[in-house]
Amino acid sequence: MTVTETFGARLDAAMAERGQLCVGIDPHSALLEQWGLPDDASGARAMGAAVVEAAAGRAAAVKPNAAFFERFGSAGLAALEDTLGAAREAGLITILDSKRGDIGSTMEAYVASTLVPGSPFEADAMTVSPYLGFDSVDPAWDACERHGKGVFVLALTSNKGAPELQHARTLEGPSVAAAVASYAAARNKGASPIGSCGLVVGATVGEGAVAAGVDLPGVHGPILAPGVGAQGATLREVEMVFRDVAPFVLISQSRSILREGPDVDKLGDAIHVASVETRALRQ
């Protein structure tokens, strides 16, 4: 890979080829028990390997949730490293769901672990939090430009308490969420077909983007949308929420697919069906 192959371009190509599904890899206790796996690092590693095998060639991306691996300490981190490595080898776009956000050298260290080629937890993109200020996101974006990586910045999440902060007004007038969207838009300016600075916008936010004054088309970047499946949102709701930017929405599903495990064939079938369904977003 060269830096001319931007994350946005690679993600867009993957979604065009394999649909707009991102499979979450969330080895939490209930799922590991359901799969008949131990609630430890070996169980997390086994789940990660099965999901990667099932998703290869069927989904655009996978998204390991760092917290569910970190809870097992150093062995869990090794399992996460193995999962990300296997996904890269399988040709999947990898997004580390770690929601990092800090200032100065601390954020630079987070970035060095994930967005630098050859780093221990190397991924194509990571989720980041902007709520310590946009200077907490800048080190991640700088690495994206150098190494052809991407970020998804938390903007409009679907948890109950989100509007209290994300719809609040800044000193300049726009909502916090709109300011986040503007930050991404500025970094995606001139990119083709889309930029590499994406947003996290929950599929269940309804008219939240309109209420917060967020210009989603103006972002010109990918949208990572959790909430379809087990959390209640449908693809029809995705079309209603995202409208003109629906072709650039990466649908994140975890529990609704992982419940089909541990059988890799059943997992693969569920991923194939979900991926095919997302193709309607590009029509």
Q: Which residues share a beta bridge with 64?
A: 25
Q: Residue 64 corresponds to which tokens in the numbers above?
A: 């390991």
Nearest CA to 62 out of 100, 38, 88 is that of 88
Residues 170-199: b if buried by 16+ CB within 10 A, e if exposed: eeeebbbbbbbbbbbbebbeebeebbbbbb
Please pick, among 63, 99, 149, 160, the residue that the annotation labels catalytic.
Answer: 99
- The per-type count for the chain, helices as H runs and strands as E runs, is 14, 8
Whole-angstrom distance between the N-terminal and C-terminal Cα of the chain? 30
- Residue given tokens 């131990």 in the structure block: 38
Annotation marks residue 99 as catalytic? yes
Q: Catalytic residue numbers?
A: 99
